[in-house]
């Protein structure tokens, strides 16, 4: 008896259709089941790079405007794209040869911030609709995030974060605003680290072994015990994953200094 071939369901025959899945979790004190949804859209002319060999590298959502921004890279180019609430996809203006990294959105105005690299020139850029403003011309500066009205910029030298600077997150921006130094020191900063800005400007930089927490200009270092460690988006909880035989134990505990 010949076993039946596994059934492979093909929902669409159009290779240009892109599917975007989302999962909305309820509050921790609610019994409501998570809501998952599927949005399917057919990219308009000029946006075929999403499915024609393109790979989504970065993705952020502006909760203030319900806009989604993503960078898509294929073999030869990288595109900065926007999806609005009507599922319209548009390609935002880019300079020739520009490499975009670390995209972040304002939690108040929906302004997009990102690191821009053209040749040997690196800048932190803010994008309001199609208008660009240069936030920093320092080649060592990197966008870290935006929280509660502040834009956080890190100065990185020789794989070390040596300074955290801020500038107000305004509805109208100007080129090269003044940057206020919030902290100076030395924290390992490489491709293996994660970072986030928690409540009240608490900055957390961590890998799977150590968490560095900057609060009000003071630095605390915490050793992590899990095989893998992650920090919640608000910077308050530590998620530790520990392997035990064929299982993985998950422990959730406060991230305390």
Tell me: the pLDDT tens digits for 127-186?
987 889 999 999 999 999 999 899 999 999 999 999 999 999 998 899 999 999 999 999
Question: How far is 82 from 41, CA to CA, in rounded Å?
Answer: 13
User: What is the CATH T-level fold of the domain 199-257, as seen in this structure?
Assistant: Immunoglobulin-like (2.60.40)
- Domain definitions of the chain by residue range: 43-190, 199-257
**The pLDDT value given to residue 153:** 97
Q: Do domains 43-190 and 199-257 have the same CATH topology?
A: no
> How much is the pTM?
0.78
- Is 144:166 a contact under the CB 8 Å cutoff? no
- What one-character DSSP code corresponds to residue 255? -
Q: What is the dihedral sign for C-alpha 172, 173, 177, 178?
A: positive
Edge to edge, what strands does the sheet with 131-136 contain? Answer: 98-105, 112-118, 121-128, 131-136
- How far lies 64's CA from each of 85, 105, 110, 254, in Å? 12, 9, 6, 28
Pairing of strands 160-168, 150-157: antiparallel
- Is 204:215 a contact under the CB 8 Å cutoff? no
**The pLDDT value given to residue 256:** 80
- Is 11:18 a contact under the CB 8 Å cutoff? no
For residue 257, pLDDT over 70 is answered with: no
- Is 156:143 a contact under the CB 8 Å cutoff? no
Report the mean per-residue pLDDT for the chain. 83
Question: How far is 71 from 56, CA to CA, in rounded Å?
Answer: 6
- Is 189:141 a contact under the CB 8 Å cutoff? no
Is CATH 3.30.70.100 the right assignment for the domain spanning 43-190? no
Nearest to 62, CA basis, from 126, 134, 133, 118: 126
- How far lies 145's CA from each of 10, 126, 148, 177, 233, in Å? 39, 12, 10, 16, 12
């Amino acid at each position: 008896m010949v076993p039946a071939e596994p059934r492979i369901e093909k929902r669409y025959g159009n290779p240009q259709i892109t599917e975007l899945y989302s999962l909305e979790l309820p509050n921790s004190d609610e019994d409501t089941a998570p809501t998952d949804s599927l949005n399917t859209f057919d990219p308009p002319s000029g946006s075929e790079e999403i499915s024609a060999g393109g790979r989504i590298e970065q993705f952020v959502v502006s909760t203030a405007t319900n806009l989604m921004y993503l960078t898509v890279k294929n073999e030869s180019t990288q595109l900065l794209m926007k999806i609005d609430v009507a599922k319209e996809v548009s390609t935002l203006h880019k300079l020739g040869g520009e490499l975009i990294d670390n995209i972040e959105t304002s939690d108040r105005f929906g302004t997009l911030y990102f690191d821009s690299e053209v040749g040997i020139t690196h800048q932190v850029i803010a994008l309001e609709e199609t208008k660009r403003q240069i936030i920093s011309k320092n080649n060592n500066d990197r966008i870290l995030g935006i929280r509660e009205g502040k834009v956080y910029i890190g100065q990185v030298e020789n794989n070390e974060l040596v300074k955290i600077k801020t500038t107000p997150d305004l509805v109208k921006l100007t080129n090269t605003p003044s940057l206020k130094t919030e902290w100076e020191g030395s924290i390992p900063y490489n491709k293996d680290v994660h970072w986030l800005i928690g409540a009240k400007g608490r900055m957390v930089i961590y890998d799977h072994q150590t968490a560095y927490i900057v609060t009000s200009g003071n630095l605390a270092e915490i050793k992590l015990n899990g095989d893998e460690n992650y920090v919640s988006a608000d910077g308050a909880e530590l998620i530790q994953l520990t392997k035990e035989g064929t299982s993985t134990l998950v422990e959730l505990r406060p991230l305390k200094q």
